Amino acid sequence: MSVYILVGGKPLPGRFNQAETRMRTIAGVMAQQGSKATRLHQTLLGDGTGKLSLVAEFESFHEAMSTFGEVRKDPLFLEVSKQISENPAVAEGGANVLRDFYGTIDNLKSVHLRRTYQISRKNLPQMTEIIKEVDALSPEYKVAVVIPVMAPNMDYLHGIYHFDSFADAGKIMDEVGMTPEFQELVSRGNEIATLIQSSINIKM
């Protein structure tokens, strides 16, 4: 199981480069202190368009929390934190912790399509069966699902579809997403959860 620390926010007008530089610096500190992988991405379509996000992956909660503790003491991180406090470059910033629920996110893939459902935890076993069927529809994409551990919305479930390019994502939307089989699974999912957000992002 992987654990993820997710930080991000929407850059203020004219501050994109500054926001990106700060996030890359934080990613470097996370990597030095023990994260398994990091992924900086920008949301380009759908919910949160324009948002910059950094994901740091860990093999356990212990590793995630231990690294987080060390990062907070790192001189470079402290300097960036001071800059953020005195001269913010993003609006609505925040930090969340999530964990794997099904599969594992591939942080090396260029494009991630996210579909977020609001769901009662009691319905997670039923959703697991639906996710398995979605994942089995085609070998041309991979599905991973994460759920929040520390976040504002604890009843969310995030499905991540992995692609090498936007063209590949569009191809799968046509060839799989529009099929009766996929739409039937969507309908079944809507009986136990509510699709509330969707977006697509690209690795930077």
Residues 6+ apart with CB under 8 A from 45: 199, 200
CA Rg value for the chain: 17
Structural domains present in the chain: 3-99 (3.30.70.100), 100-203 (3.30.70.100)
pLDDT per residue of the chain (204 residues) written in tens, 0 to 9:
999 999 999 999 999 999 999 999 999 999 999 999 999 999 999 999 999 999 999 999 999 999 999 999 999 999 999 999 999 999 877 899 999 999 999 999 999 999 999 999 999 999 999 999 999 999 989 999 999 999 999 999 999 999 999 999 999 999 999 999 999 999 999 999 999 999 999 999
> In the prediction, which pLDDT does 144 show?
97
> In the prediction, which pLDDT does 55 show?
97
Residues 6+ apart with CB under 8 A from 132: 102
What does the block give as tokens for 121? 């935890």
Residue listed under structure tokens 């994460």:
146
> In the prediction, which pLDDT does 93 show?
74
pTM of the model: 0.94
> In the prediction, which pLDDT does 168 show?
96
